[in-house]
C-alpha cells in the first residue's frame, strides 16, 4: 500500500516512523511519504494562505499549491504504481465519521493521499477541481470536536488502517476479537496471577471460568461481557439508546 501525506507540518508525522507502522514501512508493506505543501509554492514567502473572500475570521488555504501538489504526487505515484487512481482523504471535522468499517475498507486500497488542512480551511474550488479531474475524494472526521489541523487525524487514521494491512499485525487473530471488529466493545482481559493482592490489600480473583478449560463456556461468557459493557458504555451501538441501531445521538437542543 502507498500513502502520501500533504501537510504544512511534516514533523508532525514523525511518529509514523515508530512501532508497528515504522516496522511496516521498513518491511516494505507500506510506502509512506510525507510532503511539505510549501514545496508547491513559488513566491519568496512560500505563501499558502490568504484572507477569506467576503470577510471573516482567520485565513483560508489558497487553491494553487494544492492543485500543483495533487498533480505532482499523482504523477509520482503513478510512476511507481502504474495506472492507479488514489483515494484522496481530507481530515475534516465536517466529514463523515471515521470508524472501524472505514479502516477495513481503506486497508484494501492500493493508494491513499491524505491532505491536511490548517487555518479555517481550504478554498472550496480545490474539492471541485479534484472531483472534476477524476479523483475519488473523502472527507473524514474523528469525532465531534475540533482539532487545529488534519495531522493528528492522519496519525490516528493511518494507524487504524495500516494495522489491518495483511502481515502488519503478526497475530491476525488479535484483529478478530478486538473492540468494534464485531460491532461490540471488547470483553475484559485477565492474565496471571489468577489471584492478585493489590497494593491496598484487596485480594482480586480472575473469573474462575477463565481457568475452567471449557472453551465453549469461556466464549459465551466473553460474549455476555461484551454485550453488557457495550450496553453500559455505548448503548448507541446496540440501538438501545432510543436513537435507532448504529445511529449517532440526535441534537440535544
Ligand atoms: Cl479529521 N480534523 C480536524 N481538524 N478536526 C477534527 C477532525 C479532523 N476530527 C475531529 N475533529
Mean pLDDT by 10 residues, the chain (253 residues): 98 96 96 98 98 97 98 98 97 97 98 94 98 97 97 98 93 86 95 98 98 98 98 95 62 52
What ligand 1 atom has the least distance to the C-alpha of 149?
4
DSSP states of 201-212: S-EEEPPGGGGS
Determine the distance from the C-alpha atom of residue 99 to the mean position of all C-alpha atoms in its chain, rounded to a whole number. 8
Cis omega (within 30 of 0) for bond into 30? no
Ligand 1 neighbours by CB, cut-off 6 Å: 91-93, 140-143, 145-147, 149-150, 153
| The dihedral sign for the CA sequence 172, 190, 98, 92 | negative
Domains of the chain: 2-162 (3.40.1280.10), 184-238 (1.10.1270.20)
Q: Which of 5, 121, 143, 146 to mutate to test the pocket of ligand 1 (most atoms within 8 A of CB)?
A: 146
Rounded to two decimals, the ipTM of the complex is: 0.95
pTM value surpassing 0.90: yes
What is the predicted pLDDT for the residue at 92? Answer: 97
What is the predicted pLDDT for the residue at 251? Answer: 56
User: How far away, in angstroms, is 41 Cα from ligand 1 center?
Assistant: 25
User: How far away, in angstroms, is 91 Cα from ligand 1 center?
Assistant: 6
Neighbours of 242 (CB within 10 A): 10
What ligand 1 atom has the least distance to the C-alpha of 145?
11
Amino acid at each position: 500500500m502507498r500513502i502520501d501525506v500533504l501537510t504544512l507540518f511534516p514533523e508532525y508525522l514523525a511518529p509514523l516512523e515508530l512501532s508497528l507502522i515504522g516496522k511496516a514501512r521498513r518491511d516494505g508493506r507500506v510506502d509512506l511519504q510525507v510532503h511539505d505543501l510549501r514545496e508547491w509554492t513559488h513566491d519568496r514567502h512560500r505563501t499558502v494562505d490568504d484572507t477569506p473572500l467576503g470577510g471573516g475570521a482567520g485565513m483560508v488555504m489558497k487553491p494553487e499549491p494544492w492543485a500543483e501538489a495533487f498533480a505532482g504526487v499523482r504523477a509520482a505515484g503513478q510512476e511507481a504504481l502504474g495506472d492507479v487512481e488514489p483515494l484522496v482523504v481530507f481530515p475534516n471535522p465536517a466529514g463523515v465519521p471515521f470508524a472501524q468499517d472505514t479502516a477495513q475498507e481503506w486497508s484494501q486500497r492500493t493508494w491513499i493521499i491524505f491532505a491536511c488542512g490548517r487555518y479555517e480551511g481550504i478554498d472550496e474550488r480545490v474539492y471541485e477541481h479534484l472531483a472534476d479531474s477524476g479523483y475519488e475524494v473523502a472527507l473524514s472526521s474523528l469525532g465531534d470536536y475540533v482539532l487545529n489541523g488534519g495531522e493528528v487525524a492522519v496519525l490516528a487514521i493511518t494507524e487504524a488502517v495500516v494495522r489491518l494491512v495483511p502481515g502488519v499485525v503478526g497475530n491476525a487473530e488479535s484483529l478478530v476479537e478486538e473492540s468494534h471488529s464485531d460491532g461490540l466493545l471488547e470483553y475484559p482481559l485477565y492474565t496471571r496471577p489468577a489471584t492478585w493482592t493489590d497494593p491496598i490489600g484487596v485480594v482480586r480473583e480472575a473469573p474462575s471460568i477463565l481457568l475452567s478449560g471449557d472453551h465453549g463456556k469461556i466464549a459465551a461468557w466473553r460474549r455476555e461481557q461484551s454485550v453488557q459493557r457495550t450496553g453500559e458504555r455505548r448503548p448507541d451501538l446496540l440501538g438501545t439508546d432510543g436513537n435507532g441501531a448504529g445511529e449517532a445521538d440526535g441534537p440535544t437542543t
